[in-house]
Structure 1
């Protein structure tokens, strides 16, 4: 016959095992999120270092958002023109890749609140004497990155005046501008500012001007891209954006890269 003390010991052991099992289930079910970025250099937002690790302002901000939201995030590079399909097919769970919030994209995916907003500019040769307008770009060749708000913008506003050349990456457009194969390129002002600070950019080019506003295409700013209906993750991202701005994390990261408030108006 089993003694009471033995039974008591077995019950304690079983209870401990059950507690560990429950904890184990909790750990196993901790939310792991694949954080999608564009698999191309886009300084100062994201670039691979010598070891292949991705660094930059947006990579740091994305990781900070995950920490604040209590998520285990894995940075997952995806080609830019396939990044929305990667999200909708669950190959990634969020997009943190300078994706502007637009009505067209909101037909397919959801967005968090904005986490930054900067002007859109046209860059041309140092001796350029035209403006960032349809009249100024008449007869010019303007290069843009495929599947961006900038491609949509130039097709709407400049197609009747300028020839449009589309590139897989912004870096390729910058290279052709440097080589004189195109007359201008349009992109986010910060991304083009990094190009203009490079030796090639400094030697060849300058900002021609900011483009006229178009909220329908350029949107109110950049947000985290999410799958349609993923309201729980959207709420976490919105709370995290607010949280890192309130606790100083956003400012501390931004200070390493910019001498102005990238959050914008």
Structure 2
């Protein structure tokens, strides 16, 4: 007990006094163009499930949340360079990433699908996609899966998923591999997504690539301080029903209950 209290002391002492606004800032890295998780609204304000969850976690910990929007492949370098303090960007916990950074407990679980034209409906197996052009966001697990399993396809890498959707719509791609929720809300539910649909299996069930859920990324040096506090805050939001309520604000299906 004494060891744990000592580890938490630096952050705890920096928290606000009763009735005062939080003084310690937590810079949270978010991925650009990830509706409904994180995006810039028409009013110029950040919005989305992960934006709201980041603020809820900070409020629970008595910290001031400072969102920082970055390209996905720049998040881990920014964390390690101390430009941000945490990552909340639909980042799967994998052994490769765990060599570089630490993670909180999982806060949601997402399927991963191919998106294609409805008039093409290709076989999205490695054999069926031989010679086809598949778009993917750089730095994601999707990119690694395609490199390993779709070696006979032409894999095109993009800074953001929105850019891949644009090329898919323009006919410069045959498919894109993406988190199903992001595809549903950021493309398929919109006018520009008409004529496109999911195809093939849920690649997200392959734990070799996608691990066991989506979690907050943080520096290894902070695992026993900030990491402990994040886990406690997540557990409190889950047990109180606040995490499920936040899920229901954005989704008609459950992403936050462990599989």
Report the TM-score when normalising by structure 1: 0.85
1:91 alignment partner, one of 52, 68, 83 = 83
Bigger Rg over Cα: 1
Report whether the alignment pairs 1:179 with 2:167.
no
Q: Pairwise mapping of residues 149-160 of structure 1 onto structure 2 (< 5 A)?
A: 149-159=141-151
| Aligned residues of 2:110 and 2:179 also touching (Cα < 8 A) | yes
Give a deviation string over 1:43-85, Cα, whole Å, max 9, x none.
0101112332210111001111111122222112223221111
Number of paired residues? Answer: 241
Partner Cα distance (1:28, 1:51) in 2 = 25
Q: Pairwise mapping of residues 70-109 of structure 1 onto structure 2 (< 5 A)?
A: 70-109=62-101
Report whether the alignment pairs 1:136 with 2:134.
no
Unaligned runs of 5+ in 1: 1-21
Unaligned runs of 5+ in 2: 1-12
Report whether the alignment pairs 1:233 with 2:226.
yes
1:216 aligned partner:
208
| Aligned residues of 2:243 and 2:256 also touching (Cα < 8 A) | no
1:189 alignment partner, one of 162, 172, 180 = 180
Residue 111 of structure 1 and its aligned partner are, at CA, apart by 0.4
| Aligned residues of 2:22 and 2:63 also touching (Cα < 8 A) | no
Residue 210 of structure 1 and its aligned partner are, at CA, apart by 2.4
| Aligned residues of 2:22 and 2:64 also touching (Cα < 8 A) | no
**Root mean square deviation of aligned Cα:** 2.2
Give a deviation string over 1:73-117, Cα, whole Å, max 9, x none.
211222322111111111110111111111111111000011001
Change (3 A) 1:261 1:211: closer
